[in-house]
Amino acid sequence: MKKLFYILAALTLLGAHAGGAERYNLIPMPASLTAREGSFTLREGMAMSLPAGDGYVRGAEILLEEIKTAGGPAIKVTTKGRNAAITVFADAAIAPEGYSLKVDRRGVSITCSTPQGMFYALATLRQLLPAQVYGGSGSGPWSIPCVEITDAPRFGYRGAHLDCCRHFMSVDFVCRYIDLMSRYKLNRFHWHLTDDQGWRIEIKKYPLLTSVGSVRPQTLIGHKRNLPHTFDGVPHGGYYTREDVRRVVDYAAARGVMVIPEIEMPGHATAAVAAYPFLACGLKEKYEVACSWGVFEDGFCPKQTTFTFLEDVLREVAEMFPAPYIHIGGDECPKVAWKQCPHCQSLIREKGLNGEAGLQSYFMHHMDNFVNSLGRTAIGWDEILEGGISPNAVVMSWRGYEGGIEAARLNHSVIMAPHKQCYLDYYQEPRATAPLAQGGNLPLDSVYMLEPVPPMLTADQAKYIMGVQANCWVEYLPTPSHVEYMVFPRLGALAEVAWTPADRKDRDSFHRRLETEFDRFERMGVRACQYERKNR
């Protein structure tokens, strides 16, 4: 009797897997998915028909080239819709990032209203194809399981951040990072370009920012809390030219990703101050690009020459980046230098500011206004709430949910990136066997269980939560492969938080889908952390 029970239970499970979601190993899970029997097979010489418009061709070619490179059939692109294997229909009634995807035994049809929507339909299609599409060996057939999907994102802002200051990351790697995030339907790349340990973006008007500010003489070895500190004696540098930036922005645009640059102020500015000491309060004889991590005492001094410099910088940044947002930092600015600086103290008195906190707020208001004058919106870390928030700024809530809650209640847009759930430089496995990391403890499931809309917000306030972002700081991640190790598989969990309706999230199903994802990582040469795979 007992045996029969187990056999029946096993059969039920098998049935669920054959007809249910696990035939479709999609990350993030779509808003709605109906399983269908049967499959459709792509063959040599078949066609893909697209609506007119440049963005459609570019987006489609990315997948078609991938299929060909993986040894699959060559599919022709056409704008004449007859008898195509894959047909993309434009329909203005579909949400801008939404799509529907129907696979039956005769072919694939996609309906969307923008190239972005098509790109997401194709991201889904890629995950429905055999894993061979990701590279490595395989012999086809190029079959796609029948299915009906109607999909659209939960949040408009679905971000991934990469610090390229603590360690310089090549343009090739930045593009790979963007490609990998776009496969998860993430659409905002937050590019951290300036910090104490290196200024990484070419500014024509201020060449010393890169000739001096992009190079540090050496780097701390091991973790900062291990004393005494030792250094490697090897200079570390690198920066992005205008040409590099254009390449990254174009590459991202073809994948539906907006690139949001960050220029840090008034803190995290040691590299800029080392290049142009007039930007500091001038209490030291010499300023040097930082070789260790943490928070440094010398930031920008809030004087007219500094504002002029930052305005010039932001003007060039706005020329290089088409995004409607510029991130202007605002975090972790110690007030040590400002306290001792006669100019700062007289400014506080003259403007009737509330001490150094008021001065920081004065600084950020000034720059927020300037960003607005460029026709852009400023984003700042949640410290911009202190001393009174700038009227138009978007708050990136990193120290927890509190900053985001406060901002939403003040009718400010919010991006949730609470460090305890979103910081991919924290450990994801027991420390004894893990490579060096920042500290903290962030297992995969904690990322997965993140809920970006705090329950205490009213429905009206909740509308201000634009979305969510994972941050990857690289103090302890000097190489691309180390970055990949920390980012994957956790970025997949974040993507499901950002895209999938909350009531469709299912942790067990996510873990089952991840099995296929690990196969894809191997095929793409992504060095994902294997801990969750081996210990479940």
**Annotated catalytic sites, by residue?**
195, 268, 332
368 near ligand TNX, judged by CB under 6 A: no
In the complex with ligand TNX, which residue's Cβ is closer, 382 or 496? Answer: 382
Count of residues making up the chain: 536
Distance CA 429, CA 493 (A): 15
Binding to ligand TNX by CB under 6 A, coded x per residue (else -) over 200-219, reads: --------------------
154 HSE (CA, 13 A, CB side):
25
Distance CA 113, CA 91 (A): 5
Residue with tokens 């056999």: 7
In the complex with ligand TNX, which residue's Cβ is closer, 97 or 475? Answer: 475
247: left (phi over 0), alpha (psi -120 to 50) or beta: alpha
The pair of three-digit structure tokens given for residue 482, joined into one six-digit string = 């180390």
In the complex with ligand TNX, which residue's Cβ is closer, 151 or 425? Answer: 425
Can you count the helices (H) and strands (E) in the chain? 19, 19
Closest CA to 448 of 514, 379, 363: 514
In the complex with ligand TNX, which residue's Cβ is closer, 163 or 429? Answer: 163
In the complex with ligand TNX, which residue's Cβ is closer, 247 or 420? Answer: 420
- Taking the complex as a whole, how short is the minimal distance between the CB of residue 370 and ligand TNX, in angstroms? 21
Binding residue for ligand TNX, selected from 331, 406, 506, 519, defined by CB under 6 A:
331
Those residues whose C-beta lies under 8 Å from the C-beta of residue 74, and which sit 6 or more positions away, are 44, 45, 64, 68
- Taking the complex as a whole, how short is the minimal distance between the CB of residue 477 and ligand TNX, in angstroms? 10
In the complex with ligand TNX, which residue's Cβ is closer, 118 or 494? Answer: 494
104 near ligand TNX, judged by CB under 6 A: no
Closest CA to 142 of 128, 155, 152: 128
Binding residue for ligand TNX, selected from 189, 191, 370, 381, defined by CB under 6 A:
381
- Taking the complex as a whole, how short is the minimal distance between the CB of residue 422 and ligand TNX, in angstroms? 9
Binding residue for ligand TNX, selected from 398, 401, 448, 510, defined by CB under 6 A:
398
Which amino acid is present at 318?
Answer: A
In the complex with ligand TNX, which residue's Cβ is closer, 238 or 400? Answer: 400
- Taking the complex as a whole, how short is the minimal distance between the CB of residue 295 and ligand TNX, in angstroms? 8
- Taking the complex as a whole, how short is the minimal distance between the CB of residue 225 and ligand TNX, in angstroms? 13
The pair of three-digit structure tokens given for residue 272, joined into one six-digit string = 């800029």
- Taking the complex as a whole, how short is the minimal distance between the CB of residue 167 and ligand TNX, in angstroms? 11
- If binding means CB under 6 A, how many residues of this protein chain bind ligand TNX? 9
Which of positions 412-431 make contact with ligand TNX (CB under 6 A)?
423, 425
Distance CA 449, CA 86 (A): 36
Residue with tokens 């529907």: 100
Are β-strands 32-42 and 142-151 bridged in parallel, bridged antiparallel, or unpaired? antiparallel
Dihedral angle over CA of 48, 51, 53, 58, nearest 10: -30
- CA of 213: how far to CAs of 33, 164, 301, 357, in Å? 51, 14, 17, 27
In the complex with ligand TNX, which residue's Cβ is closer, 425 or 429? Answer: 425
- Taking the complex as a whole, how short is the minimal distance between the CB of residue 44 and ligand TNX, in angstroms? 50
DSSP state letter for 222: S
Distance CA 349, CA 355 (A): 8
- Taking the complex as a whole, how short is the minimal distance between the CB of residue 347 and ligand TNX, in angstroms? 25
- Taking the complex as a whole, how short is the minimal distance between the CB of residue 144 and ligand TNX, in angstroms? 41
338 near ligand TNX, judged by CB under 6 A: no
Which of positions 456-475 make contact with ligand TNX (CB under 6 A)?
473, 475
27 HSE (CA, 13 A, CB side):
27
332 near ligand TNX, judged by CB under 6 A: yes
Binding to ligand TNX by CB under 6 A, coded x per residue (else -) over 218-257, reads: ----------------------------------------
Closest CA to 314 of 237, 251, 393, 377: 377
296 near ligand TNX, judged by CB under 6 A: no
Closest CA to 245 of 307, 151, 321: 321
DSSP state letter for 236: B
Give the interface with ligand TNX as residue ranges (CB under 6 A). Answer: 331-332, 381, 398, 423, 425, 438, 473, 475
